Amino acid sequence: MKTESFTPALILIRGLPGAGKTTLANVLSEEGLYPIFSVDDYFTNAETGEYKFVFSENHLAYSSCLEKVELAMQKSVKKIFVHNTLTLDWEIKDYFKLSSKHRYTIFVVTCENYHSNTNNHSVSDEQLIKMAKKYKVKLI
């Protein structure tokens, strides 16, 4: 009988607010079978679901998300999903370091807003345009 070898995977889902990152993460996690993490988790009240962004705590939110991912890796979770905007290189680099350290294959998936959805966090069109100008996709 042939035994399949499996390398665990970290899947980063990136895109602008409203692109559908959260929805895609939920679909790919097979209804919660695999963990999903986001910077937004830090700003969301677990009991009420209320989201309240505090800019001065953004660095804490990034650290918290990264720590949760590493804990899941230490438990050898088969698939881990992260859905954040990840528009800038510094937002991604620590996930590559973690993947290397814990021997995870990393995938970066870009989610595009073909459905003309609006974002849940009231990010202005002006801010979305600024984010889009900084957004880089690495094709080669």
Q: Which of 30, 18, 59, 27 is nearest to 42 (CA)?
A: 59
Per-residue pLDDT, 5: 63
Domain extent listing, the chain = 9-134
Residues with pLDDT less than 50, the chain: none
The number of residues in the chain equals: 140
The pTM for the full model equals 0.87
Q: Is the dihedral of CA 56, 60, 66, 72 positive or negative?
A: negative
Tell which CATH classification among 3.50.7.10, 3.40.50.2300, 3.40.50.300, 3.30.450.20 matches the domain 9-134.
3.40.50.300
CA–CA distance, 94 with 101 (Å, rounded to integer): 10
Tokens at residue 29, please?
């996690």
Per-residue pLDDT, 58: 92
Residues 6 or more apart whose CB falls under 8 angstroms from that of 133 comprise: none
Per-residue pLDDT, 2: 53
